[in-house]
Amino acid sequence: MTQDLYGLPVTGADAAALQGINDLIHGFISFDPKATNVMKAAVDAPECCLANTYTAMIWMLLEAPIAAAKATPFIEAAERVAPKVTVREQLMTQAIRAWVDGDVPACITLCETILEDHPRDMVALKLAQYHTFNIGDFASMLRVALKTMPAADDIPYAHGMVSFGYEECHLLDDAAASARRAMDIQRAEPWAHHTLAHVYLTRGQITEGIAFLESVADTWDGLNSFIHSHLWWHMALFYISAGRPEDVLQAYDTHVWGLAKDYSQDQVGAASLLARMEFAGIDVGARWGDVADYVAKRGADTVSPFLTLQYLYALGRAKRPEGEALLDAIEARAKDTTQHDHKTWEDVALWAAHGIAAHAAEDWDDAIRFLGKALPRLAECGGSHAQRDLFEQIHLDALIQSGQASKAQQVLEMRRTFDPGGVPLNMMLADVYDQSGLPGQAAIARARAESAKATLH
């Protein structure tokens, strides 16, 4: 028996299989494309349980309806040899089997069980955080990450995952400290960069956020499309707030869209950034068409409510007929009581979907009504605070478009508490105050926007 790069035992792996396993471990937690090397290792080593288990996991991370079918042969191969391997490897095989079978809560429990005795198992931690994040269980994201300490104190990626757990629990000081600890060990730790992007954005520190991300952007080349595009997506949010439309469009065209157009996360990143640009008054030209072409290929994809809602928005914004079919699929998914997340689809995602469809149809009253029902519980659909803000902005846009200036003013002033100098936000406020017969406040808001633009450029 040999050991992986973090000293955990691996059964039945020759040198090539072990290399594939190590590439998966390090690639998975560092967002390096080498993670997929485990797939060849599994084909070449059918008797290696962990190589096959990890390959099944890679297929599930495709986040597409076909994923389970692609993963099944590998998890079955792993199960055939599982009685001969360590308890940790057996538990990981059981965790991936649970995921393939749609039992996400069991997958999370099994990963947490692994971490009790093996706190240096970074795959168990990353997988547990992936799933707890996707169901909006942010306290569990933090709890599972803290199980790795102090045993994994030397691993920068462990601190990066701890930091994001803190951030999603609104513990910003702890989040920043853990992210800095990760970067002290390794400057090029993208998940720590990601946490700090969230912290700066939440605190409204636009200048600092831009300066930080630009200072580490040189380390993102060569990472997988998700993290490369997502970190630049965060950069673009700062550029939007700063009133720098040319830089936003440059970031979108160069780094956010075009790296892996078939991939779920790249598609929703592009769609959500295009929406934010338009809400900020930026002309995006014909860019919706290309994104919608790729989203349309997904068909009735209801793997994740968070992803599906953004697919629906992209299709609706581009006036694609496939949006109607996707809405029908969402309605059917909400009626499926056999799934662990049934109530999320029924009570939250379905309302949000109808609100999004109403917004696309310019039915502002229904968009306000339906999204208003969904927003208080939208965290159950997954996504970060920053990502879910898209739906808040769709709701806000419906308020503005419907002429409900008083309600829009309330929302905008609350948003100004975390984006005080935001250029688009203050320009929206100025318009709303004009509509409300408050020209003095409109002038103050415009002055804030002009001051911020001069300062942040």
Condensed to tens digits (0 to 9), the pLDDT of residues 361-393 reads 999 999 999 999 999 999 999 999 999 999 999
CB atoms within 10 A of CB 457: 10
The pLDDT assigned to 244 comes to: 96
Report the SS3 class of residue 9: strand
Percent over 90 (pLDDT), the chain: 98
1-152: in CATH 1.10.287: no
Average pLDDT rounded to a whole number, residues 325-335: 97
Spatial separation of the C-alpha atoms in residues 58 and 34, rounded to whole Å: 12
Where does residue 222 fall: left (phi above 0), alpha (psi -120 to 50 degrees), or beta otherwise? left
Q: What is the pLDDT confidence band of residue 454, given thresholds at 50, 70 and 90?
A: confident
pLDDT digits (tens, 9 = 90+) for 174-218: 999 999 999 999 999 999 999 999 999 999 999 999 999 999 999
The pLDDT assigned to 456 comes to: 67
Q: What is the pLDDT confidence band of residue 1, given thresholds at 50, 70 and 90?
A: confident
pLDDT digits (tens, 9 = 90+) for 143-185: 999 999 999 999 999 999 999 999 999 999 999 999 999 999 9
Residue owning tokens 């020759």: 14
Is residue 28 a contact partner of residue 12, using CB atoms and an 8 Å limit? Answer: no
The pLDDT assigned to 4 comes to: 98
The pLDDT assigned to 453 comes to: 85
Burial 111-124 (b: 16+ CB within 10 A, else e): bbbbbeebbbbbbb
| pTM for this prediction | 0.97
The pLDDT assigned to 457 comes to: 64
The pLDDT assigned to 24 comes to: 98
Q: What is the pLDDT confidence band of residue 113, given thresholds at 50, 70 and 90?
A: very high
The pLDDT assigned to 455 comes to: 80
> How many whole angstroms from its chain centre is CA 18?
30
Residue owning tokens 């688009």: 424
Q: What is the pLDDT confidence band of residue 299, given thresholds at 50, 70 and 90?
A: very high
- On the question of pLDDT at 356 being above 90, the answer is yes
Average pLDDT rounded to a whole number, residues 415-428: 96
C-alpha count within 13 angstroms, C-beta hemisphere, residue 245: 13
Residue owning tokens 């072990």: 18
Spatial separation of the C-alpha atoms in residues 205 and 195, rounded to whole Å: 14
- On the question of pLDDT at 336 being above 80, the answer is yes
The pLDDT assigned to 397 comes to: 98
Average pLDDT rounded to a whole number, residues 107-116: 98
Closest by CA to 118, choosing from 7, 5, 2, 23, is 7
What phi and psi, each to the nearest 5 degrees, are found at residue 3? -130, 150
Average pLDDT rounded to a whole number, residues 303-330: 98
Report the SS3 class of residue 203: coil
Could you tell me the two tokens for 387?
């990502």
**Mean of pLDDT over the chain:** 97
The pLDDT assigned to 233 comes to: 98
Average pLDDT rounded to a whole number, residues 85-93: 98
Could you tell me the two tokens for 61?
């991370």
Spatial separation of the C-alpha atoms in residues 41 and 291, rounded to whole Å: 34
Closest by CA to 238, choosing from 212, 206, 274, is 206
Single-letter code of the amino acid located at 127: L
pLDDT digits (tens, 9 = 90+) for 240-290: 999 999 999 999 999 999 999 999 999 999 999 999 999 999 999 999 999
